[in-house]
Structure 1
């Protein structure tokens, strides 16, 4: 049996029952951003499922025929919400990516840059901290302003360099949360005891979001544990087919958080929360009752910070935000975690806010983890359409609930907005301002 057939057989064992549950009805088509953008069947969930089925049957080549359509999928999972028969598209997508990677690895002589980034960089807190320190110096020394004036990032890095302008200013590292700490509630009595998941990007680059998340939880009446050995959630790895690494990261996080008896494990990134909530889908050993119980206990505690703050309803707003505000939902927060209207309700509860709903708000912004880096042109087509709605609303602030969405919408302001004064910020940043929390 050839290696191609070996991979096809393994793919079939993983996905065949799942792909055959698709009845090819087409309800997913209007919900799919890449189908609307590319207008081809292979860019639709239905079309991709059919291609995965053909690859599993050995009728098409996994890398030559399946890889491109799968890579062009955003993984937003809006199709799952639209599906009348609950086809597990997210699981099919990750299985396909894992087999594509396995097939590519057979022909790879040595690890490439992508392997290093996913297996060594995002999994290594020392590398992340060093990068954070270097970027902070890049901003503080004025070097960033100089390079932007001559458009050096774009000249060196091309499209990736264009997105450098979307990166926010980093505050002092004293606002970076220390792991292994317990932070007590700032209220007379404790309402909840929770843990806070810091992630990798938020912990190294957007740690202002983590800081505000922690302070808002404490103001709301939470004692907050920060487990010491927590790390990257593994979402980037799972979405790129690096399932062995994703499983190891998942196992490490489950073990890191089990030491603390808390009601909730709080997240502030839609993508992180989604995979944390689904660790049991790929981590549970069905033959080990203790392992199953441990993982399922972990996943049952995952809550987005918007859910926790809305449930407690104890924040005191001290400042009016007299601005036009709109909200771009995180696909994984809405479609996977099923957190829909709560962020908007929190926004509308802030004094002075003029909330205007974004037209076609539920469509993906096309950040998609690293999608906007590896598929820049396709990502920009979708983002450009998204900003037709933004320009109609003319907001002062675009609120997001995921770091990738935040950076993507900031890039959209730079590229497509009628007003370059529009801000793209995380929900916790807006709530923190209203609570008079400042850095």
Structure 2
């Protein structure tokens, strides 16, 4: 495909998929600039700001600017953290604009055999079927338990791989046996008085790589008075697909999950991963052009709730919670939990209510940690700049534990601890794991 043909195809796609009014909502006031990590990290380069990217998309859409690698790089370098949205006085839905733009680019560009293969394996095989994800994480478990991991580290085999992959290998959690979630069951009764009936969205990575966290989530919900159901037909939320331009596959997964949950007589659909929860909340946008599914997505959206929010609703802070030892704790926001789901105070209030816990607010906790799905692998240089700056702020808190609410953020903060050389005095844990491993509930 020639550059001219690509320009025409992307311009046409932007006209068809991106509503002009959504672009004109941007008043170019600049309130988004201080909220944008890439704008700050690039020395205030407007091409790497939300309003700059919107201007570029509109210019390509209107035919005033030709599509080129610089524009594509600007959109690729965006974290998609959506911190610009709560900062915007006009309510610009930047995240939706970005996802539509990436979907157009994905559909317009010719792809080499390698990219097609990688996308099909990742988005069409692994994340489409949890059984395949289990098999993949089972291979990681074999690598960890068979002695291959120790041998690889000893002989320096890992130095053959790029630095980001070597670093991520260090902080991978111990993978549990697959049978731990295969034999879990689908109904868990409330302990004591039943206050609510909920369904639990287990996720794909959370259920295969962080199985313990999911088990703890179910137990916490039971203790809080919830009858917990786990629909067997649920699947991946589709967030990684949408963020990577695979909007059709994301829509297919959204429909699958809506069908899995909508027939259940429940009060809430609970999740424990900020990125997943935000995308579940965004299903009406994903299905906006399908009137039947859009209405069903709206009903689904009304029930989606984060674990910290439902624990707060059920007054867990009124329960006598006490840390097993005195500890200083800080909290790093999940961008999408904060900026899309609007969950800000709930995790903090829970941590502050625990005896023996000294909560210290992290300066810049609202800024992205640089994980952003698989961004830390695709845009490693920018991701590590953001992470290293984040860790300087973390060290100022003197915290022994960094609490997070999303698996990607958790792994990124673990990586930050390693890079900062403070693993001897600091660790990162999921909020649910902290409440289960470190706190006594009476």
What TM-score does the superposition give when structure 1 sets the normalisation length? 0.93
CA spacing shift, 1:419–1:205, aligned 2, 3 Å: closer
Give deviations 1:249-285, integer Å, cap 9, x for gaps.
0000100111211100001111000010010012145
Q: In the alignment, is residue 252 of structure 1 matched against residue 256 of structure 2?
A: yes
- Contact 2:221 2:311 (8 Å CA) reproduced: yes
Distance 1:374 1:12 in 2: 28
CA spacing shift, 1:151–1:317, aligned 2, 3 Å: farther
Match of 1:135 among 132, 140, 150: 140
CA spacing shift, 1:284–1:93, aligned 2, 3 Å: closer
Distance 1:388 1:183 in 2: 42
Distance 2:331 2:300 in 1: 29
- Mean alpha-carbon deviation: is it higher for 367-376 or for 347-356? 347-356
- Mean alpha-carbon deviation: is it higher for 421-430 or for 58-67? 58-67
1:121 is matched with 126
Give deviations 1:209-263, integer Å, cap 9, x for gaps.
1111111111111111100011110000100100010000000010011121110
Distance 2:115 2:217 in 1: 41
Q: In the alignment, is residue 10 of structure 1 matched against residue 13 of structure 2?
A: yes
- Mean alpha-carbon deviation: is it higher for 14-23 or for 31-40? 14-23
Structure 2 residue matching 1:352: 3-state secondary structure: strand
- Contact 1:48 1:69 (8 Å CA) reproduced: yes
How far does residue 108 in structure 1 lie from its aligned partner after superposition?
A: 6.7
Structure 2 residue matching 1:26: 3-state secondary structure: coil
Distance 1:59 1:186 in 2: 63
Distance 1:211 1:328 in 2: 22
Matches within 5 A, 1:140-159: 140-159=145-164
Structure 1 residue matching 2:350: 3-state secondary structure: helix
Matches within 5 A, 1:355-394: 355-394=359-398
How far does residue 417 in structure 1 lie from its aligned partner after superposition?
A: 4.2
Match of 2:78 among 58, 73, 81: 73
Match of 1:404 among 408, 418, 428: 408
1:329 is matched with 333
CA spacing shift, 1:110–1:129, aligned 2, 3 Å: closer
How far does residue 160 in structure 1 lie from its aligned partner after superposition?
A: 1.5
CA spacing shift, 1:325–1:370, aligned 2, 3 Å: same
CA spacing shift, 1:167–1:70, aligned 2, 3 Å: same
Match of 2:310 among 308, 311, 334: 308
Q: In the alignment, is residue 352 of structure 1 matched against residue 356 of structure 2?
A: yes
Distance 1:358 1:319 in 2: 20
Give deviations 1:283-323, integer Å, cap 9, x for gaps.
145543xx343221111100000001111124553653411
- Mean alpha-carbon deviation: is it higher for 203-212 or for 395-404? 203-212
Distance 1:364 1:139 in 2: 30
Give deviations 1:330-353, integer Å, cap 9, x for gaps.
010000000001101111112211
Give deviations 1:173-213, integer Å, cap 9, x for gaps.
454365761111122x2111001111111111111111111
Point out where structure 2 has 5 or more consecutive residues left out of the alignment: none
- Contact 1:276 1:302 (8 Å CA) reproduced: yes
Distance 1:97 1:134 in 2: 32
Match of 2:241 among 231, 237, 242: 237
Match of 2:324 among 320, 323, 328: 320
Match of 1:170 among 175, 180, 183: 175
**RMSD, aligned CA:** 2.1
2:107 is matched with 102
1:275 is matched with 279
Distance 1:246 1:97 in 2: 13
Distance 2:265 2:183 in 1: 19
Structure 2 residue matching 1:176: 3-state secondary structure: helix
- Contact 2:32 2:50 (8 Å CA) reproduced: yes
Distance 1:132 1:326 in 2: 30
CA spacing shift, 1:186–1:142, aligned 2, 3 Å: farther
- Contact 2:328 2:401 (8 Å CA) reproduced: yes
Distance 1:179 1:85 in 2: 46
CA spacing shift, 1:169–1:421, aligned 2, 3 Å: farther
Point out where structure 1 has 5 or more consecutive residues left out of the alignment: none
CA spacing shift, 1:232–1:286, aligned 2, 3 Å: closer
User: Between Structure 1 and Structure 2, how many residues are aligned?
Assistant: 434
CA spacing shift, 1:208–1:253, aligned 2, 3 Å: same
